[in-house]
Chain A
Amino acid sequence: MVQKDFELTGKAALVLGGATSLGRALAVALAEAGADVAVTSCSQDEQEEAAVNATVDEVRAIGRRGFAAAIDVTDASQVDAVVQRAVDELGGLHILVNNPDLPFAKPLPEVSDEEWQRVLAANLTAVFLASRAAARVMLRQGKGKVINISSLLGERGVINSAAYCAAKAGVINMTRALALEWAREGINVNCIGVGFLDDVPGIGEDEALKVSLEHYLPMRRLAHSQEMAGLAVYLASDASDFITGQTIFIEGGALSHV
């Protein structure tokens, strides 16, 4: 039965950046498909910590194991530690979802060196750190799925977002390079290009922005985080074993535009 191919029973997943509605949707979907799921939040943010704790509660309510960890995803030792903890507590690491996200918009001349570094670190370096840490485990297993979360802005530019766009494009091409590097090691590296979501703080609360984005999208509606979840489950499962190095967009048709 084709549905069985999507099941993740017996697999352990780590979702980096689990505090957003997207992180939560991905974590819960992986759990529904049968995986045990660890999620991380930003170490300096109590609201985020509460959000990932709620996500882990949901994972457990589904009947899966899980834990929440507040870490700085740009700090190698903390990333290494959370990967080790996943291995220890969940019995391995088969699925890594790299969903760190630091939205940032500012005209380029006003962007400070420090801001540039911070945006690149949070959106790109974090993906490198987590992939490196997870690869040590996955290479040993001879099997693994890395799912990077990039954005429509990794493929299309927008005004006042050079740093963010560069970082997100970096994730897309890192996806290709790592896919090749591990193509014969049983590790698939793919990427989900997320469109505009209606349930993230920036867009969800700004009615004017929301309306302008709706007009930009062929479907005339923004996506819900849950609409990314099916693809994540597919890419995490054995059903996608021959797909690697790909970025698949769910963006309401925006990339088909003239």
Chain B
Amino acid sequence: MGANKARQGSHQGVCHMATILDKLRLDGKVAIVTGAGRGLGRAMSIALAEAGADIVAAARTEGQLEQTAQQVRATGRRCLVAPTDVTDSARVNAMVERAIAEFGRVDILVNNAGGVTTGYGKVLPDITDEEWRVGIDTNLTSAFYCTRAVIPHMLRRGGGKIVNISSGLGLRGGANNYMYPSAKAGLINFTRSLALTYARDNIQTNCIAPGVFPVTEQMVRFWRGGKYIPMGRLGRAEELGPALVFLCSELSDHMTGETLVMDGGGMAGGQAPTGLAPRIPL
């Protein structure tokens, strides 16, 4: 498994020719990534920067964003640290304006901010209005705010790429887990509506639904190291980078409204916390 580390340098014979791999480049593009301060958002920001994009890193915690920025700048790209509460539309609008003022353009929006919020694990009758609202705001409304703010700009510029980060839980439910799966499913269909609306404006909107990509040791333990995932392992944050770069590149220009599921086979056969999908006895 793993990458073939034997290969080194560019492939012989084709290094001077433009190849399909060059179309993955995002040189000169500007990408806003929300939730960029840690975990998957940070990994995706770095991948976009490696592909050539300048990054607007948005999240609540400035200290974490600075660390992301450091790694983005290490690739030679620029990074604007934009501390933003993405559940506050005024702040989102200000963040997008600042991005345009700083870099002159926004080509890519990655709606990645989100997460499980207070109320997770409660039985439904105990969930408060506030818990419901925060869960939906964090995971779905934030994407609406950011997208609303960048769309006029993308239309003026003649196109763009929007990638929403949903979840395997956008495609299945979870017991005593309401806000996150509801919002993440909403994100998948939000993707489709955007795709349809701007299909002729050269704005492609797609979605990535990662399976289990733990960012804490606690999550690794909870998921038993991926024992019940068909592939037998958990996702790694850096695996999302290439998928995102592909969806932001010209190679995916005819693709819109799609949800790319990266889950080690979970959706192929049903992954349950109690075990693998049933095996037909031989």
B-contacting residues of A (Cβ < 8 Å)? Answer: 1-3, 5-7, 9-11, 29, 32-34, 62-64, 142-143, 175-177, 179-180, 183-184, 186, 195, 217-220, 223-224, 227, 229-231, 233-234, 237-246, 248-253, 255-257
In the assembled complex, the Cα of A243 lies from the Cα of B267 at a distance in Å of 10
One of B19, B47, B268 near A32 (C-beta < 8 A) = B19
The verdict on A230 contacting B23 (CB below 8 Å), with A218-B200, A242-B262 known, is yes
Given the complex, which residues of A lie within 8 Å of B114, measured CB to CB? none
Q: B6 to nearest A CB, angstroms?
A: 7
The verdict on A246 contacting B195 (CB below 8 Å), with A33-B21, A34-B14, A230-B246 known, is no
Residue B134 CB within 8 A of the other chain: no
Residue B225 CB within 8 A of the other chain: no
Given the complex, which residues of A lie within 8 Å of B11, measured CB to CB? 7, 9, 33-34
Known: A32-B19, A183-B232. 10 other contacts (CB 8 A): A3-B24, A6-B21, A33-B11, A33-B19, A183-B264, A230-B23, A242-B231, A244-B268, A246-B268, A253-B256
A231-B20 in contact (CB<8A): no
Q: From B241, which residue of chain A is reached at the shortest CB distance?
A: A2
**A-B residue pairs in contact (CB < 8 Å), sample of 27:** A2-B24, A2-B50, A5-B241, A5-B242, A9-B7, A10-B7, A32-B14, A62-B14, A64-B13, A177-B268, A183-B231, A183-B232, A184-B230, A195-B254, A218-B256, A219-B256, A220-B199, A230-B24, A231-B246, A231-B251, A242-B231, A245-B269, A249-B258, A250-B258, A251-B254, A252-B254, A256-B193
Q: B276 to nearest A CB, angstroms?
A: 8
Q: From A64, which residue of chain B is reached at the shortest CB distance?
A: B13
Convert B200-238 into 0s and 1s, putting 1 for each residue whose CB lies closer than 8 angstroms to a CB of A: 100000000001000000000000000000111101100
In the assembled complex, the Cα of A255 lies from the Cα of B257 at a distance in Å of 7
Given the complex, which residues of A lie within 8 Å of B263, measured CB to CB? 242-243
B13-A219 in contact (CB<8A): no
Q: From A235, which residue of chain B is reached at the shortest CB distance?
A: B246
Q: From A246, which residue of chain B is reached at the shortest CB distance?
A: B261
The verdict on A33 contacting B199 (CB below 8 Å), with A63-B14, A253-B256 known, is no
The verdict on A32 contacting B200 (CB below 8 Å), with A6-B242, A183-B265, A240-B242 known, is no
Q: A28 to nearest B CB, angstroms?
A: 8
Given the complex, which residues of A lie within 8 Å of B14, measured CB to CB? 32, 34, 62-63
Q: Quick one: which of B48-102 are within 8 Å of A by CB?
A: 50-51
Main secondary structure of the interface of A (DSSP, over half): loop
In the assembled complex, the Cα of A241 lies from the Cα of B257 at a distance in Å of 23
Q: B240 to nearest A CB, angstroms?
A: 9
Q: B109 to nearest A CB, angstroms?
A: 18
A32-B20 in contact (CB<8A): yes
Given the complex, which residues of B lie within 8 Å of A223, measured CB to CB? 254
Interface residues of B toward A: which range?
Answer: 35 or more
A179-B243 in contact (CB<8A): no
Residue B252 CB within 8 A of the other chain: yes
Q: B270 to nearest A CB, angstroms?
A: 9
In the assembled complex, the Cα of A208 lies from the Cα of B161 at a distance in Å of 32
One of A63, A239, A240, A248 near B258 (C-beta < 8 A) = A248
Q: A13 to nearest B CB, angstroms?
A: 14
Residue B192 CB within 8 A of the other chain: yes
A3-B21 in contact (CB<8A): yes
The verdict on A6 contacting B254 (CB below 8 Å), with A179-B230, A183-B231, A183-B232 known, is no
A244-B264 in contact (CB<8A): yes
A227-B254 in contact (CB<8A): yes
One of B7, B13, B51 near A2 (C-beta < 8 A) = B51
B196-A256 in contact (CB<8A): yes
Given the complex, which residues of B lie within 8 Å of A176, measured CB to CB? 268-269
In the assembled complex, the Cα of A224 lies from the Cα of B261 at a distance in Å of 24
B252-A230 in contact (CB<8A): yes
One of B12, B192, B268 near A256 (C-beta < 8 A) = B192
B269-A180 in contact (CB<8A): yes
Convert B1-34 into 0s and 1s, putting 1 for each residue whose CB lies closer than 8 angstroms to a CB of A: 1111011000111100101110111000000000
In the assembled complex, the Cα of A248 lies from the Cα of B256 at a distance in Å of 11
The verdict on A242 contacting B6 (CB below 8 Å), with A248-B260, A252-B256 known, is no
Given the complex, which residues of B lie within 8 Å of A248, measured CB to CB? 255, 258, 260
Residue B249 CB within 8 A of the other chain: yes
Residue B106 CB within 8 A of the other chain: no
Given the complex, which residues of A lie within 8 Å of B17, measured CB to CB? 32, 62
Most buried by B among A220, A227, A255, A256: A256
B242-A239 in contact (CB<8A): yes
In the assembled complex, the Cα of A151 lies from the Cα of B268 at a distance in Å of 18
B257-A33 in contact (CB<8A): no
